[in-house]
Amino acid sequence: MDEQSVFIAGAAGEGIQTIGDVVARAFLAHGYPVFAVQEYESRIRGGNSTHRLRIASAPANAPRRDADVLLALNPEARNHYAVDLRAGGTLVASEAVDEQTIVVPFHDLAVEHGGSGLYANAVAAGALAAVLGLPIEIVVRTLAAAVARHGDAAVAGNTSAAKAGFEVARATLGGRAPKPLPKRENVYAFLSAHDVIPLAAAAAGCRFMSAYPMSPSTGILTAFARDPELGVFVEQAEDEIAAIEMALGASAAGARAMTATSGGGFALMVESISLAGMIETPIVVVLGQRPGPATGLPTRTAQEDLLFAIHAGHGETARLVFAPADPQDAIEKTVRAFDLADRYQIPAIVLSDQFLADSRFSLPALSLPSEIPDAHLADPNTIDGEYRRYALTEDGVSPRLYLGQAEALVYLDSDEHTEEGHITEDVRVVRPSMVEKRLEKGRRLRGEVAPPSRNRDEDAETILLGWGSTKGAIDEAVARLRGKGRRVGALHFTELWPLPEIAWRDDVDYWTIEGNATGQLARLLASDGGLRIEGRIGRYDGLPLDAATIVEALA
Amino acid sequence: MTTTQDYRSSIENQWCPGCPNYGILTALERALVALGRAPHEVCLVSGIGQAAKLPHYLRCHAWNGLHGRAIPAAIGIHVANPALTTIVTSGDGDLYGEGGNHLLHAFRRNPDITVIVHDNRIYALTKGQASPTTPRGEPTRLQFDGVEIDPAQMLATAVVHGCTFVARGFAGDLEGLSTLLARAIAHRGLSFVDVIQPCITWGKHPLAWYRERVVPVPTDHDATDRNAALSLALDSPDRFPVGVLYETAEKPVFAESYRVRVGDGPLARLPRIGRAAIQARLAAFVVNKD
Ligand SMILES: Cc1ncc(C[n+]2csc(CCOP(=O)(O)OP(=O)(O)O)c2C)c(N)n1
Ligand code: SF4
Ligand SMILES: [Mg+2]
């Protein structure tokens, strides 16, 4: 099939989520992968929002900025998104704009055929099936499964409404109606990165989650609460400071622990990030980025907190910063974050963003890492004499006992401390050796982090450098530019701190591609990686980076 | 058998000689011994301040964390390892000022921990600024013409918010305080003890001034009566009823329902969820073929 970019536009609460969901699932059930992004305002009712589906023969897990099909549930949404409909694209709406409009009176058809205006969403889904060549039976079955819990009447109403939408749209399309798409055997998992983070965390042994609700990370907290069998203790804290402090306390008492927030909440956690470094207590923090400063655009996306995550916290201490590229990567990074945070007794920050939280990818398979290491705790039987929580060792990592693990007493101290964990002002010997101890862990950690992934960089003259959630868009841009004969490749970072060691070439132009205005990766690579950047592309309007924007910028 | 000797720490004490903090330290040590708790069964949690140094002076597990953040850390510790007797011991600035929000919500949560506030009505470590409990009008090293806002009424706040054990102690009464602390620690649920601890360096009044104004809670006081507790908590600014103001067992303890599900013991020892269970959840995201 030809790829289809479908924008379902409407007001918050009008049903674009349901319509997109049904159409996406119907395509997936028919064997076609779908990439779904939600773009919405920070409100419960009204405004303009879209559910954007990208349907293709092979997974195309990156956003498109233009639509082949625009289905508008109301005139305001139609006007607002008309500019995004590509020339020659199809508009589906309740009323005609020109002769080309596929007019489908969503509400009236719902009343007429389903018996209630409530079924307008089913009419819209049926109409989209006609426009996209999806057999109506499959939409009907998907709808029926979705509404089965509301009873037979709901199933019947939805079915009639969907069929009516389908018939009306098909009649209007006439000769333009596409041939029905053949069924394919392909099967995909359809999910977001934030769907898997709680599962990966539980698999990694997470036992304690405390957080304060904040978009786009609230779903992670909710997922733990909804699935008690994961065995994770869940608490909605009074603020983000309490959230991270509770998690740190639990961690010090032996539970693998995490929290999740966005930039504003992370800002409140900063003192405790520093504390985690000082008391050498593992913690995993998911930082779901959204555009700032301050409250910014609460429901939109950005990559503005890279340098913040790397530098957050007073004083100097080791930490880990990861930025997964997609749901499968989010599984791996989450498990690794728990393991390395524990092994090195440090904070680990997993940077995601609204795009990763709210976009659903189609992936052929999902897997857990083949090995998930156990907790890294000391054996109390090997400790003789007084236990030294901060014993100086070659790699800076002291054997760790948790509070109450054994008779050996554990002292954790946010003051500069002795090896035993007691306050000290010994600035001659103890202080320098403790600073060195904590930093040595960071040096060792540098040997753990993965280098950036490579995409056709061998013969490239231009190399695009990206990080985190933009991988799909950048890879697509590389493919398109190669198609135009440009020797372009990419290096993509998902483990950003400590910065992996890279041998930069002097025969290529390096460009950074990021979801921010100031080029944070560019600055990081220039200051800590010694790299000269040829140019940088930033998107900072709150929408995710897409291939067309990158290709255009490089033209 | 545990003796006070087991709790003796060799760490040099940094408090001023004669500071009533020593009274709290000794009373706490006696209370723990009286309850038969061994040092490795106890975890002290503090923030930052003069009072917050206490955990270094007692041999047991300890978390000396950030200014104001003892309560959430203690809650995390207690949830993860409920076998520990978890006791917060910190200053009025730390627990009522910087960390006031946490205390308020701890009253609501009712975790099975004890909170001992060294209430010296001053920021001692930072050399004499007002604390949330400094009385209005009292001059300090910062509020030179006297504090211009009302003091916080944390005992009353505790009663109002359903704290299940609310008491006032006096650091100048070793006997009374150790008995009171033992009761507080033994109570199941949040025990909140505000201890009058006059700072002899920055405080306005000497210990003797307080001694004259401390009165025992009336023998006929019904500690299960919230209104009676409230009026004792709000007594006059110059009279301090000491003892248990409020106590109830009628409230679930924080994390109880979770423990019913997962069982007892440190979370570190509970088996983690199996690989297969996670894989099944991941598989549920696969959209089945029609
Ligand atoms: C975030 C933060 N802010 C301020 C301080 C400085 N500070 C340390 S102790 C303290 C007040 C202590 O008062 P209190 O808790 O009453 O303890 P006291 O010294 O009176 O026993 C302050 C403001 C700090 N350590 N951390
Ligand atoms: S400054 Fe005050 S509170 Fe601190 S040790 Fe001295 S007397 Fe005690
Ligand atoms: Mg004080």
Q: Where are the domains of chain B?
A: 4-264
Domain shared by A195 and A228, yes or no: yes
Q: Given this model, what pLDDT does residue A2 score? A: 86
| A369 occurs within a structural domain | no
Domain shared by A104 and A128, yes or no: yes
What phi and psi, each to the nearest 5 degrees, are found at residue B267? -60, -30
Contact A158, A119 (CB under 8 A): yes
B229 touches ligand 2 (CB under 6 Å): no
| A459 occurs within a structural domain | yes
Average pLDDT over residues A325-334: 98
pLDDT band at residue A203, thresholds of 50, 70 and 90?
Answer: very high
The three-state secondary structure class of B211 is: helix
| A87 occurs within a structural domain | yes
d(CA A488, CA A483): 10
Q: Given this model, what pLDDT does residue A42 score? A: 83
B290 pLDDT above the threshold of 80 = no
Q: What percentage of chain A has pLDDT greater than the value 90?
A: 95
B289 pLDDT above the threshold of 80 = no
CB-based contact A409 B63, cutoff 8 Å: no
Query: Is omega for the bond preceding A324 within 30 degrees of 0, making it cis?
Result: no
pLDDT band at residue A414, thresholds of 50, 70 and 90?
Answer: very high
| A182 occurs within a structural domain | no
Contact A29, A77 (CB under 8 A): no
Least confident of A371-375, B5-9, B63-67, B81-85: A371-375
From A111, A89, A78, A92, select the one nearest A168 (Cα to Cα).
A92
Centroid of ligand 2 to alpha carbon of B133 (angstroms): 16
CB-based contact B268 A422, cutoff 8 Å: no
| A356 occurs within a structural domain | yes
Q: Given this model, what pLDDT does residue A530 score? A: 83
Contact B166, B251 (CB under 8 A): no
B92 touches ligand 1 (CB under 6 Å): yes
pLDDT band at residue A361, thresholds of 50, 70 and 90?
Answer: very high
Domain count, chain A: 4
Centroid of ligand 1 to alpha carbon of B83 (angstroms): 30
Terminal-residue alpha carbon distance, chain A: 28
Average pLDDT over residues A16-20: 95
Domain shared by A209 and A328, yes or no: yes
Contact A286, A197 (CB under 8 A): yes
Q: Domain with A21 in it: what CATH number?
A: 3.40.920.10
Domain shared by A39 and A130, yes or no: yes
A235 pLDDT above the threshold of 70 = yes
Domain shared by A418 and A540, yes or no: no
CB-based contact B59 A409, cutoff 8 Å: yes
Average pLDDT over residues B83-96: 98
A398 pLDDT above the threshold of 80 = yes
Centroid of ligand 1 to alpha carbon of A422 (angstroms): 18
What's the pTM? Answer: 0.97
B52 pLDDT above the threshold of 80 = yes
Tokens of A278: 């000082």
Domain shared by A350 and A495, yes or no: no
Give chain A's mean pLDDT.
Answer: 96
Task: Tell me which DSSP letter residue A299 carries.
Answer: T
pLDDT digits 0-9 by tens, B157-211: 999 999 999 999 999 999 999 999 999 999 999 999 999 999 999 999 999 999 9
d(CA A531, CA A262): 29
pLDDT digits 0-9 by tens, A83-96: 999 999 999 999 99
Contact B54, B88 (CB under 8 A): no
A116 Cβ contact partners less than 8 Å away, ≥ 6 residues apart: A110, A157
Q: Given this model, what pLDDT does residue B237 score? A: 82
Domain shared by A55 and A105, yes or no: yes
Contact A188, A28 (CB under 8 A): yes
Range of the domain at A529: 453-553
The three-state secondary structure class of A257 is: strand
Taking phi over 0 as left and psi of -120 to 50 as alpha, with beta for the rest, A247 belongs to alpha
Contact A57, A47 (CB under 8 A): no
B8 pLDDT above the threshold of 80 = yes
d(CA B22, CA B118): 11
Q: Is A280 on the interface with B (CB under 8 A)?
A: no
pLDDT band at residue A402, thresholds of 50, 70 and 90?
Answer: very high
Give the end of a domain, one of A415, A448, A481. A448
Nearest CA-CA distance, residue B126 and chain A, Å: 15
Domain shared by A106 and A243, yes or no: no
Average pLDDT over residues A48-63: 96
Give the end of a domain, one of A391, A426, A448. A448
Q: Given this model, what pLDDT does residue A41 score? A: 86
Please give the class, per CATH, of domain B4-264. Answer: alpha beta
Q: Domain with A235 in it: what CATH number?
A: 3.40.50.970
Tokens of A529: 């990686």
Q: Given this model, what pLDDT does residue A528 score? A: 82
d(CA A523, CA A385): 49
What phi and psi, each to the nearest 5 degrees, are found at residue A302? -165, 165
pLDDT digits 0-9 by tens, A461-513: 999 999 999 999 999 999 999 999 999 999 999 999 999 989 999 999 999 99
**Per residue in A102-113, is it b (16+ CB within 10 Å) or e — as a string?**
bebbbeebbbeb
A134 pLDDT above the threshold of 70 = yes
Average pLDDT over residues A338-360: 98
pLDDT digits 0-9 by tens, A416-474: 999 999 999 999 999 999 999 999 999 999 999 999 999 999 999 999 999 999 999 99
Residue with the smallest CA separation from ligand 1 atom 3 is B67
Query: Is omega for the bond preceding A293 within 30 degrees of 0, making it cis?
Result: yes
Closest ligand to Cα B88: 1
Q: Is B11 on the interface with A (CB under 8 A)?
A: yes
Average pLDDT over residues A308-326: 98
Q: Is B289 on the interface with A (CB under 8 A)?
A: yes
Domain shared by A35 and A160, yes or no: yes
The three-state secondary structure class of A332 is: helix
Give the end of a domain, one of A338, A363, A388. A363
Q: Which of B19, B22, B67, B201 to mutate to test the pocket of ligand 1 (most atoms within 8 A of CB)?
A: B67
Domain shared by A267 and A330, yes or no: yes
